[in-house]
Amino acid sequence: MEEIAKQEFVDELCLNILPFWINNVVDTDNGGFIGRVSGNGDKHADAPKGAILNARILWTFSAAYRLFNKPEYLETATRAKEYLLTYFWDNEQGGIFWQLAADGIPLDKKKQIYAQGFAIYGLSEYARATGDSDALEKAVELYQLIEKYSFDQTLNGYQEAFTGEWGEIADMRLSDRDANEKKTMNTHLHILEPYTNLYRIWPTAELKSSLRNLIELFLDKILSPSGHLQLFFDEQWHNKQNIFSYGHDIEASWLLYEAAVVLGETDLTDRVIAVIPSIVKAASEGLQPDGSLIYEKNLATGHVDADRHWWVQAEAVVGFWYAYRLYGREEYLEKAKNCWNYIKSNLIDRDNGEWYWSVKADGSVNTSDDKAGFWKCPYHNGRMCMELIEHF
C-alpha cells in the first residue's frame, strides 16, 4: 500500500500541482506571478500581488528542486526569489512589503510578521536547495529584523504587525476573519516553521535560543490543557477568543515535532512527543465520517464552520501520518489515508489542475474562492506531497 501511495504523491505533485503554477500563474508581462486565478480558472493579470503568495511559491519550488533536481523547478524558484528581493524587499526600512500592485509598485508597506516569516521560509529553502549565499543573507536579515522589532523582551512572544517604518499600527489583523490582538498563534506557528528551516543551514547560538523559546511558548502559553491551540492573545498572554481551529491543531502537531528534532535537544523533544497525542486527539474532534476535517468551531457562539478547506485536508494528511510514524498506532494511519482519499475524490481539480479552495458543508465544490491568489498557494498541498515522498 505504502509504495503505491508514495507514487500517488509524486504524481499529484509533479503532474498536477506544480505544472498548474508554472503554466497558469507566471506573469510574463510584469514579472513574478499574477496575483489571482479565480475558482473558475479566470486569470486576473491586474490583481495585486501578495507577499505570502510569492514567498510560498518560492518555498514550494525550492523544495521541489531539492527533491527532484528538475531545471523547471529551479527556474520558477529563482523567478520567485528575484521578484521577492527586487520588488517586495524594502530597501529603505528593511523587511518585506505586504502587497504590491500588478506592476510591482507597493500598495501596502506594512510589516506583517507572518509575511516576514514566510519570506524567511522561502529564502532559507532556496539557500538549502542551491547553496545561494544571497538568499541566506537576506533570510538572516529578516530573522534579525523580527527579533529587533517584533520580539517582546518583557513579556515574551512576537507582536503581530507594524507600519512600514516598523512603528505601532492600529490594525494588526492578518485577515478580516482574525481578531485585532497583539499576539496570535498563527504568526507564532509561522515563525516557528521558518526558524526551523533557517536553523538547518544557519545553526547559530542566537537562532537556537529563539527556536527553543518558540517551542516552549507553544508548550507553555499557546497549547490549552484540552490539546487545542489558543488563537488570539493580548500583550500579557491572556486568551481572547475560544475557537477551535482543527487545521491549525493538526498542523502544529507535526511542525512542533519537526522543530524539536531540528533543534536537537532531547529533553525538549521528549516534552513535545509527550503532548502530540493530545493535540492530535483535539484535532480529530473535527474529523467527519467521510474522512475530511472541518474548519473550526466557535465555542462562544456555538457556530461550526464545516467547510473542508484545501489546506486543512493537506495538513491533516501530514499530521496524522507523522503521528503514525511516531507512535505506530493504526488509527493514525487510517485517518491519514481516509483524508487523502477524501482529497482525491473531492478537492483535486482533475480537469484544470490544482485543488479547489474548499468543499462546502453541503458537499458542493467551492468555485467562488480563488484557485490561486493572496492566500491560495501551492505550499500546503505541495508540502503534503513532499513530506509523504520524503518520509515513506
Q: In the chain, pLDDT over 90 holds for what percent of residues? A: 95
pLDDT above 70 for 2: no
CA atoms of 306 and 290, how far apart (whole Å) = 13
CA atoms of 389 and 282, how far apart (whole Å) = 26
Read off the pLDDT of residues 236-291 as tens digits, 9 standing for 90 and up: 999 988 999 999 999 999 999 999 999 999 999 999 999 999 999 999 999 999 99
CA atoms of 124 and 264, how far apart (whole Å) = 19
Query: 392 pLDDT band (50/70/90 cuts)?
Result: confident
pLDDT above 50 for 1: no
pLDDT above 70 for 315: yes
Query: 171 pLDDT band (50/70/90 cuts)?
Result: confident
pLDDT above 50 for 170: yes
**pLDDT number for residue 304:** 97
Q: What average pLDDT does range 93-104 have in this prediction?
A: 98
Name which residue leads in pLDDT, 28 or 1: 28
Q: What average pLDDT does range 169-183 have in this prediction?
A: 87
Query: 3 pLDDT band (50/70/90 cuts)?
Result: very low
Query: 5 pLDDT band (50/70/90 cuts)?
Result: confident
**pLDDT number for residue 175:** 85
pLDDT above 70 for 121: yes
Query: 4 pLDDT band (50/70/90 cuts)?
Result: low
pLDDT above 80 for 75: yes
Contact (Cβ atoms closer than 8 angstroms) between residue 316 and residue 279: no
Read off the pLDDT of residues 147-159 as tens digits, 9 standing for 90 and up: 999 999 999 999 9
Query: 178 pLDDT band (50/70/90 cuts)?
Result: confident
